[in-house]
A and B are shown apart, each in its own frame.
Chain A
Amino acid sequence: MTALLSLSGVTAFYGAIQALRGIDLTVEKGEIVTLIGANGAGKSTLMMTICGSPRARSGQIIHEGQDITQWPTHLIMRRRIAQAPEGRRIFNRMTVHENLLMGAEVAGRADTADGLEQVFTLFPRLKERISQRGGTLSGGEQQMLAIGRALMSRPTLLLLDEPSLGLAPLVVRQIFGAIRDLNRTTGLTVLLVEQNAYQALRLAHRGYVLVNGSITMAGTGSELLARPEIRAAYLEGGHT
């Protein structure tokens, strides 16, 4: 069987700095896979490289049997891959509604009512703000909007870069719950980057540990959770 997404020997650079040093990674259909690692380990770069920006310098990225390594970003995104990028990147001068419609636009879908309803069920807050401009939302609301916009394209593969950033604990729980539900009911495949490694590993089927642009460990979520070195490096907040 072929994986939904597989990376082999992928390297990427930001300017002169090598951010990824030969990444091998697979995501099977219907899986939730998480990437954990310190700030600056290359997690976000890996997400962006899958989307073709920056382009991988060497190695291969295969999506549904197709080599997309050298594809331009906009074509990659049309393969029902959606991303809620780091830094939100919402359209500041468009309303919440327009932002969400833009998400559906990318996938070329005319039927958006279901998508909107799904997003509003997940984030009732966005429904309250539907005609407000994106730029006037609070930070956390913008994060909700970025995730909602990604969901609007009805992706088969969802790339989430720190979805919990700036969100209230209650909402974080809702989001993690929603990811699990979507995964169970619709078979949505998710690649997740998250600082909160504990929650991420509990949610994910499998996880990869990224250190300095290389994968140093891989395993199921519970396996990784049990490893003492993981606990020491990413889970425990020290000893205050």
Chain B
Amino acid sequence: MLSVSGLIMQFGGLRAVDDLSFDAKAGDITAVIGPNGAGKTTVFNCITGFYRPSGGSIDLAHPGGASYPLHTMPGHRIASAAKVARTFQNIRLFAGMTVLENLLVAQHNTLMAATGFGVLGVLGLGRYRAAEAAGIEKAKFWLDAIGLTARADDPAGALPYGAQRRLEIARAMCIDPVLLCLDEPAAGLNPRESDELNQLLMRIRDGGCSLLLIEHDMGVVMRISDHIVVLDHGKKISDGTPAQIRNDPAVIAAYLGEGEEDEVPV
């Protein structure tokens, strides 16, 4: 479904991503892991149009058959037309807007068309009222899914950290994506919260949306991923199922380290 081939991203003298190729299958949760500074977020930024790649191609095939060359599309079109949504490592919510407003902003393009691009909406004509009601229904669905219905009218910035993470995912889901890219969704979550996150992500996958995931919490990665890609210094060093990755000596040396997952060296 997503096919990255020969991707290169150069910043001045630094080659952050170096001839990277991998595929993510439809209906899969694909995890991208690797040491800090390996270029994982850079890959995400290329896929979601925040960076224009220096070389290579990124192609997305929709289940319906349409295909989109993401490496040539402007950022907002990648979200609105190619339907690729993302979240950010350091949560980027609209802090001064309510939870509900956050979810409605995410439906901007649908709702905007219903207002006749503003003109009819101001005059109170057209089908905006119905469209907004539908938008609120969709927001309600996701509020329910992330357990924040009771806090719908609170400002997003006042939510506890874990709830902000969930809200960011729900907001991304409100653009009806076919591919959701999550940048460290479990960072800063306690074990219980990461477990809830696992449930949410699997529910999203089962709803038909493919996921691409950057994560350091192996409890999340190993439990829910169907496929793992390992990067180091901008290159792919391994690629396979969780079981394969867990036992790959190259991955253990560069990333996982020896011994038990939770072990602290004494």
Which residues from 25 to 50 on chain B have a C-beta closer than 8 Å to any C-beta of chain A?
Answer: 33-42
Which residues from 125 to 144 on chain A have a C-beta closer than 8 Å to any C-beta of chain B?
Answer: 125, 129, 132, 136-141, 143-144
Contacts of B196 in A (CB 8 A): 238
Given contacts A138-B41, A139-B41, A237-B194, whether A177 and B36 have CB atoms under 8 Å apart is no
Q: Report which of A39, A137, A176, A238 forms a contact with B161, defined as CB distance below 8 A.
A: A39
Which residues from 208 to 229 on chain B have a C-beta closer than 8 Å to any C-beta of chain A?
Answer: 216, 218-219, 223
CB pair B262–A199 under 8 Å, yes or no, is yes
Let me know if B75 is at the binding interface, CB within 8 A. Answer: no
Which residues from 72 to 107 on chain A have a C-beta closer than 8 Å to any C-beta of chain B?
Answer: 87
**Distance between A10 CB and nearest chain B CB, rounded to angstroms:** 21
Let me know if B184 is at the binding interface, CB within 8 A. Answer: yes
**Assembly CA distance A202 to B196 (angstroms):** 25
Closest chain B residue, CB of each to CB of A233? B192
Let me know if B94 is at the binding interface, CB within 8 A. Answer: no
Contacts of B257 in A (CB 8 A): 169-170, 173
**Distance between A185 CB and nearest chain B CB, rounded to angstroms:** 15
CB pair A202–B193 under 8 Å, yes or no, is no
Binds B, one of A63-71, A149-157, A160-168: A160-168
CB pair A203–B264 under 8 Å, yes or no, is yes
CB pair B262–A198 under 8 Å, yes or no, is yes
**Distance between B139 CB and nearest chain A CB, rounded to angstroms:** 23
**Distance between B172 CB and nearest chain A CB, rounded to angstroms:** 18
Let me know if B187 is at the binding interface, CB within 8 A. Answer: yes
CB pair A139–B90 under 8 Å, yes or no, is yes
**Distance between A91 CB and nearest chain B CB, rounded to angstroms:** 16
**Distance between A230 CB and nearest chain B CB, rounded to angstroms:** 12
Closest chain A residue, CB of each to CB of B89? A139
**Distance between B194 CB and nearest chain A CB, rounded to angstroms:** 6
CB pair B261–A234 under 8 Å, yes or no, is no
Contacts of B33 in A (CB 8 A): 168
Number of A interface residues at 8 Å Cβ cutoff, please give it. 42
Let me know if B68 is at the binding interface, CB within 8 A. Answer: no
**Assembly CA distance A169 to B255 (angstroms):** 7
Let me know if B123 is at the binding interface, CB within 8 A. Answer: no
CB pair A39–B216 under 8 Å, yes or no, is no
Instruction: Please report the number of residue pairs spanning A and B whose Cβ atoms sit closer than 8 angstroms.
Output: 113
CB pair A197–B35 under 8 Å, yes or no, is no
CB pair A169–B216 under 8 Å, yes or no, is yes
**Assembly CA distance A80 to B230 (angstroms):** 40
Given contacts A166-B216, A199-B262, A202-B264, whether A139 and B190 have CB atoms under 8 Å apart is no
**Distance between B88 CB and nearest chain A CB, rounded to angstroms:** 10
**Assembly CA distance A202 to B260 (angstroms):** 14
Let me know if A235 is at the binding interface, CB within 8 A. Answer: yes
**Distance between B213 CB and nearest chain A CB, rounded to angstroms:** 14
**Assembly CA distance A233 to B190 (angstroms):** 10
**Assembly CA distance A138 to B44 (angstroms):** 12
Which residues from 184 to 199 on chain B have a C-beta closer than 8 Å to any C-beta of chain A?
Answer: 184, 187-196, 198-199
CB pair A234–B191 under 8 Å, yes or no, is yes
Closest chain B residue, CB of each to CB of A179? B264
**Assembly CA distance A144 to B254 (angstroms):** 17
CB pair A180–B266 under 8 Å, yes or no, is yes
Let me know if A108 is at the binding interface, CB within 8 A. Answer: no
**Assembly CA distance A234 to B11 (angstroms):** 41
Given contacts A136-B11, A195-B190, whether A168 and B36 have CB atoms under 8 Å apart is yes
CB pair A144–B36 under 8 Å, yes or no, is yes
**Assembly CA distance A169 to B261 (angstroms):** 8
**Distance between A9 CB and nearest chain B CB, rounded to angstroms:** 25
Let me know if A229 is at the binding interface, CB within 8 A. Answer: no
Closest chain B residue, CB of each to CB of A88? B90
CB pair B255–A240 under 8 Å, yes or no, is no
Q: Report which of B40, B184, B193, B265 forms a contact with A39, defined as CB distance below 8 A.
A: B193
**Distance between B209 CB and nearest chain A CB, rounded to angstroms:** 20
Let me know if B162 is at the binding interface, CB within 8 A. Answer: yes
Which residues from 183 to 211 on chain A have a C-beta closer than 8 Å to any C-beta of chain B?
Answer: 195-199, 202-203
**Assembly CA distance A233 to B11 (angstroms):** 44
**Distance between B260 CB and nearest chain A CB, rounded to angstroms:** 10
Given contacts A39-B160, A40-B160, A203-B264, whether A140 and B37 have CB atoms under 8 Å apart is yes
Residue of A125, A129, A143, A170 with highest tally of chain B CB at under 10 A? A170
**Assembly CA distance A202 to B39 (angstroms):** 32
Given contacts A39-B160, A136-B11, whether A141 and B188 have CB atoms under 8 Å apart is no
Some 8 contacts from A to B, beta carbons below 8 A apart, are A138-B38, A139-B184, A171-B36, A173-B257, A173-B263, A202-B264, A203-B264, A238-B192
Given contacts A170-B254, A173-B263, A202-B264, 4 further A-B contacts (CB under 8 A): A87-B90, A125-B36, A139-B90, A234-B191
